[in-house]
Amino acid sequence: MDGCVGRSSSMVTRRMTLSSAPLPKVLAIDDSELIHRLLRVRLQHEQLELHGATESDQGLRMARELMPDVILLDIEMEGMDGFEVLQALKSDVDLQDIPVIFISATASMEDRVRALDLGAIDFVGKPFEVVELKARVRSALRVQHLVKMLAQRAQVDGLTGLWNRTYFDRRLSQEFAEAQRHGRTVSLVMCDVDGFKRLNDERGHPFGDMVLERFAKILQGGRTSDVACRYGGEEFGIILPNTTGIEAIEVAERYRRAFEQEVWSAAAGKVVTASFGVSDMISLPQATSFNDLIASADAALYRAKLNGRNRVEAAIAPNPAS
């Protein structure tokens, strides 16, 4: 009785023991059901989650939905062939970093070169050797793991662990476009540690670094939907999706108070503060790009500095209806 039951339950067990790290997803795009059956059996003991598409369009759609870690792609399919699918994948910013392994029965040298030149990471001929196929999938998964790690590292600020400027620009531009498309709003808080240069000069760089780290920690401890980034130097930007300017002012005010109340053991009695500028899309109906949001929040931040620092200023009157 243990034969069949044992095998199916071992699949479940494996998934459960690894639940801390989700299994890597592999998407196979091939118009032959024979190949899908084969892959399902041949890859069933690998640590991965296999998905299949039998048509190009369906394959592209599933790639967007699943964001697989590796794509196995057949070259010769009806309709859009594998080369076209590969081109579509590589011209989509969200999908272009997914490694693609080509599978083809033709496997002419020209095809292999063309596939690699179009951005495929590897090539397996049909009928494939099982051991080789598994090894190539594993190898592509390793590459993808590193690519993901590098991509993330390249967007994280080393000192504070917040998102960096590169990520900030990309994310704000995305949120701005999405808000425009769906008639939603986005708010932006730009903030800056008051008198940071003097702090650095008087207390030394290690103290300055500590100030930035603690400020970052406060900004990071806000609402989960808010995106805190280090904009550069002592300036930070927080993207608040689906948030009105008035709500954003309240959020900024909470950060301001929390920072003001920090206790600095290395400088007893010293109060370190920050100033905040808020902008939002509703108060800027003429905004055509996310840069307008930044400029407006920066102008508000400048006003906060002029008006005595340690305060929140907004680009809008708090009650736009009046």
Partner 1 sequence: MRLSSDSTTVRSEFADDPDMSPIVELFIRELPHRLAAMHSALASSNFEQLRSLAHQLKGAAGGYGFPKLGEAAALVDQGIKDGCDPNVIRSRVGMLAALAARIRP
Report the interface residues with partner 1, using CB under 8 A: 31-32, 34-35, 37-38, 41-42, 44, 74, 76, 78, 104-105, 126-128
- The amino acid occupying position 223 is R
Dihedral through CA 141, CA 144, CA 149, CA 155, nearest 10? -160
Helix (H, G, I), strand (E, B) or coil at 51: strand
State which residue, 33 or 178, has the beta carbon closest to partner 1.
33
**Least distance between partner 1 and beta carbon 28 (Å):** 13
Q: Which residues are within 8 A (CB) of 265 and not within 5 positions of it... i.e. 6 or more apart?
A: none
Q: Sort strands 274-280 and 186-193 into parallel, antiparallel or unpaired.
A: antiparallel
Print burial letters for 166-178: b (CB count within 10 Å at least 16), e (below 16).
Answer: ebbbebbeebbee
234 catalytic? Reply is yes
Question: 27 and 63 in contact (C-beta within 8 Å)?
Answer: yes
Cα dist. 63→59, 60, 94, 154, 184 in Å? Answer: 6, 5, 10, 24, 27
Main-chain phi, psi angles of 217, to 5 degrees? -65, -40
Taking every pair of Cα atoms in the chain, the longest distance, rounded to a whole number of angstroms, is 80
Among residues 234, 235, 253, 313, the one annotated as catalytic is: 234
State which residue, 127 or 221, has the beta carbon closest to partner 1.
127
State which residue, 82 or 222, has the beta carbon closest to partner 1.
82
State which residue, 42 or 303, has the beta carbon closest to partner 1.
42
**Least distance between partner 1 and beta carbon 121 (Å):** 21
If one counts every other C-beta atom within 10 angstroms of the C-beta of residue 20, the result is 5
CA-nearest of 153, 157, 307 to 234 is 157
Distance CA 172, CA 293 (A): 9
Give CA 283 to chain center in angstroms: 28
Per-residue tokens: 139: 């190898």
End-to-end CA distance of the chain: 77
**Least distance between partner 1 and beta carbon 14 (Å):** 15
State which residue, 33 or 94, has the beta carbon closest to partner 1.
33
Radius of gyration from C-alpha coordinates of the chain: 26
If one counts every other C-beta atom within 10 angstroms of the C-beta of residue 257, the result is 13
State which residue, 31 or 313, has the beta carbon closest to partner 1.
31
State which residue, 78 or 110, has the beta carbon closest to partner 1.
78
Per-residue tokens: 131: 């051991």
Catalytic residues: 234
